[in-house]
Amino acid sequence: MQGADQQVLRTAVDWLDAGHRVTLVTVAKTWGSAPRPAGSMMAVRDDGRLEGSVSGGCIEDDLMTRCATGEFAQGPPTLVNYGVNNAEAQRFGLPCGGRLELALETPPTAAPLRAVLEKVHARQLIRRRLCLGTGEISLHPATRDEEFSYDGENLDKVFGPQWRMLIIGAGHLSRYVAQMALALEYEVIVCDPRREYADAWQVPATRIETGMPDDVVAAHPGDARSIVLALTHDPKLDDMALMRALEDDTFYVGALGSARSNAKRRERLASLGVSAGALARMHGPVGLPIGSRTPAEIAVAIHAGITAQRRGVVLARVEQHTPQPHACADALRQPA
């Protein structure tokens, strides 16, 4: 979602700079089965071009026509409802009982949108507040726990940097983790100082770095939208990277390995001065215990655990009736 939101803003800025009129559309509220969640955004240019989506159906076509006529070009933001009855829901391709309330605004210049992008580029979380009565825009610092909100008067949307995943180790498992991360719109950086692993890395749209892991982690300070995964199963590479990541405000720090190997890792890190509080933040064994055995299955478990953490989902303990997959992680260390 964050990558899509930023693309909508960047495109809107480009269109405004080129002299076009642009209407920003935000899903303010949904009822029933809605195709897009509240907070979803779309930009509509005066000639009908679109960026983003609010329904994935015929609502976009209707909005294109209305925006092209300049219906929303004057005055404060406008609220528009779709799917208020069964006939209209069927007309616009909404699921049965689905209803959307959309907030439409027509920014006069690109400056307010560019200010948001500048904050995001600096890896800051920012809350953009739109006053529906006046059209006034204000920017406020945001926290990682804040979400989209709408109280009928103000529409608050949180923008932030793209989620970044720094993977220590360029082995077989890391390839699956990286590929899934790209599908989830993460920026992916892979670190491995071992030349045979780094040279074999072939995952497009990721960046490979060959410095020592702790130096690479230090070069990318952790924040509310960053993740560090130590996947080499080699203490010489993993431990120093983990120690450095736990010093920062890194959102998620995970380490591959069995429960026993992670217990030993915690002992080593504690002997190096890592506090008990910092060690409690480390997810090791990383991922959910779903009985995964293959690299792809382990990657699914890792991403499921991270996604649950991002969404604030507290999971009940899952009893493990099969051996921990990470206990055999040495099989994943060989270059493909």
- Give the whole-angstrom CA distance, residue 72 versus residue 45: 12
More confident residue, 311 or 334: 311
Domain definitions of the chain by residue range: 2-159, 164-332
pLDDT digits (tens, 9 = 90+) for 84-125: 666 665 666 565 557 889 999 999 999 999 999 999 989 899
- Under 8 Å between Cβ of 222 and 228: yes
> In the structure encoding, which two tokens stand for residue 53, read together?
């989506």
Q: Which of 74-88, 153-167, 269-283 shows the lowest mean pLDDT across its residues?
A: 74-88
- Give the whole-angstrom CA distance, residue 41 versus residue 8: 7
Predicted pLDDT at 204? 95
- Give the whole-angstrom CA distance, residue 256 versus residue 232: 7
pLDDT over 50 (residue 149): yes
Predicted pLDDT at 20? 96
- Under 8 Å between Cβ of 315 and 308: yes
What does pLDDT average to over the chain? 89
* Max Cα-Cα span within the chain: 69
| pLDDT-based confidence at residue 278 (cuts at 50, 70, 90) | very high
Q: Percent of the chain having pLDDT more than 90?
A: 72
**Cα dihedral across residues 318, 178, 120, 74: positive or negative:** negative
Exposure b/e, 85-115, CB count within 10 A at least 16 = b: eeeebeebbbeeebbbbbbbbbbeebebbbe
- Superfamily of domain 164-332 in CATH is NAD(P)-binding Rossmann-like Domain (3.40.50.720)
Predicted pLDDT at 95? 57
Predicted pLDDT at 179? 98
pLDDT over 80 (residue 327): no
Predicted pLDDT at 94? 61
Q: Which residue, chain included where needed, has tokens 């409802």?
A: 81
- Give the whole-angstrom CA distance, residue 277 versus residue 75: 52
